Amino acid sequence: MFLSNSDLVELVAFRRELHRAPEISGEERETAKAVLGFLTPSKPDQIVTDLGGHGVAAIYEGSEPGPTVLVRCELDALPIEELSESEHRSQVPGKGHLCGHDGHMAIVAALSRGLGRSRPRRGRAILLFQPAEETGAGAAAVIADGKFEEIAPDYAFSLHNRPGLPLGYVALSEGYANCASRGLRIVLTGHTSHASTPEHGLSPMTAVAKLMPALTALGPGGALDEDYALVTVTHAAMGEPAFGIAPGRAEIWATLRTLTDAQMGALCERAEGLVRQAAAESGLSVETDYHDVFHHCENNPEAVALLRQALDDEKMAHGPTASPSRGSEDFGLFGRKAKSAMFLLGSGESSPHLHNPDYDFPDDIIAPGARVFMRTLRNLLG
């Protein structure tokens, strides 16, 4: 084990410090400062800051030529109120680390201790703290940043904690790992009238009533195969909160989800066709736009084999994933630049689910997660 007892005490304190001060996507300035403060004593050969926003990358150079290996975690929290009696609960109203990104940061920060004490023999190890994962914008922004050329990896690895799996157990498979998803916002516009004379207005009510079940029928879910599609209506609003006004405007928000990016394109076309038809039938104007765009995530076989070797070397229990995750993850974009893979690290069979208001990353899996990554780095870089 490359971490001492004092390292573990400091890592737990660091994780809880991050947990108390969550920042949501695009606002991670103070979180990035805290990460820098933790990394600096390990004396990286280079630190890249403001990467794709508030991203931070620490670079540890080997003395011989070799591959560049990136280990990535996320900086951002969620706009959800934490409901907890914990001493380290969120001190920021309406925001909380309820997806475990604080724990992911602690795991990747742990690697700085080992790399600071013993540089890789060859190549480069990159520790990337990425902004804005929760909106799907962060990985794209990092890759589009000109500074990314300084850290362009040959291999990229990451993890996500997974409630429902035994504490410290790892699930990992080749191929599809996370679904593609995106948010579709629909704005239907007619014009208002007095509620006593609705015939003088142009209401979106009929279109809304048709669209919500019709959109859902496009994506009923089911088996996670090549035909998988799920459409979830997440928000709808119509008119003003007044009894005297017949509505003239409505919004519907829906999340579209498919196994692959190719399927997503087809689902978007079908959804937009339904929207245009419903608007035309009611004489409404319509606008659509997309938000929180996530591409599908796919695990490269060679990268998976490297993680499995590390798990065997560390004698950690592991097995295949039951199926791809319906949840989305922007790490998939790194797979277009490098051989990449993500593993799932069990956070307990009775753990609250991710994004629940009482979720808290278990400190006991900081060390196991760090061991997997460090063994992978040593196996590749020496």
CB 170 within 8 A of CB 317: yes
d(CA 373, CA 79): 29
Instruction: Output the average pLDDT for the chain.
Output: 97
Report the pLDDT value the prediction gives residue 320, as an integer from 0 to 100: 98
Instruction: List the one residue out of 317, 329, 212, 326 whose CA is nearest residue 274.
Output: 212
Work out the average pLDDT over 180-192. Answer: 98
What was the pLDDT predicted at 76? Answer: 98
Residues 266 and 362 in one domain: no
Tokens of 191: 């014009």
| Same structural domain, 165 and 22 | yes
Same domain, 34 and 121: yes
Please give the pLDDT value at position 254.
98
pLDDT of 1: 84
Residues 163 and 78 in one domain: yes
Cβ pair 103, 157 in contact under 8 A:
no
Q: Residue 261 sits in a domain of what CATH number?
A: 3.30.70.360
**Is 0.85 topped by the overall pTM?**
yes
Residues 102, 14 within the same domain: yes
* Chain segment 208-242, per-residue pLDDT in tens: 999 999 999 999 999 999 899 999 999 999 999 99
How do residues 119-135 score in pLDDT, each as one tens digit? 999 999 999 999 999 99
129 and 210 in a single domain? The answer is: no
Residue 257 is part of which domain span?
180-294
Domain identity same for 308 and 281? no
Name residue, tokens 């796919």.
298
Given 262, 294, 326, the domain boundary residue is 294
Mind listing the pLDDT tens digit for each residue in 342-380? 999 999 999 999 999 999 999 999 999 999 999 999 999
Of the residues 263, 294, 325, the one at which a domain ends: 294
**84 and 206 belong to one structural domain:** no
**Average pLDDT of span 236-257:** 98
Last residue of some domain: 252, 278, 294? Answer: 294
Q: Are 361 and 73 in contact (CB under 8 A)?
A: no
CA distance 164 to 137: 28
Task: Inform me whether the pLDDT recorded for 203 exceeds 90.
Answer: yes
166 & 279 share domain: no
Q: Do 56 and 155 belong together in one domain?
A: yes
Whole-number percent of the chain with pLDDT over 70: 100
Q: What is the 3-state secondary structure (H, E, C) of the chain?
A: CCCCHHHHHHHHHHHHHHHHCCCECCCCHHHHHHHHHHHHHHCCCEEEEEECCCEEEEEEECCEEEEEEEEEEECCEECCCCCCCCCCCCCCCCCECCCCHHHHHHHHHHHHHHHHHCCCCEEEEEEEEECCCCCCCHHHHHHHCHHHHHCCCCEEEEEEEECCCCCCCEECCCEEEECEEEEEEEEEECECEECCCHHHCECCHHHHHHHHHHHHHHCEECCCCCCCEEEEEEEEEECCCCCCEECCEEEEEEEEEECCHHHHHHHHHHHHHHHHHHHHHHCCEEEEEEEEEECCEEECHHHHHHHHHHHHHCCCCEECCCCCECCCCHHHHHHHCCEEEEEEEECCCCCCCCCCCCCCCCHHHHHHHHHHHHHHHHHHHC
Same domain, yes or no, for 163 and 303?
Answer: yes
- Rounded to an integer, the average pLDDT of 303-321 is 98
User: Are 155 and 248 within one domain?
Assistant: no
Instruction: Report whether 141 contacts 52 (CB < 8 A).
Output: yes
Has residue 333 got a pLDDT over 90? yes
**Total domains, the chain:** 2
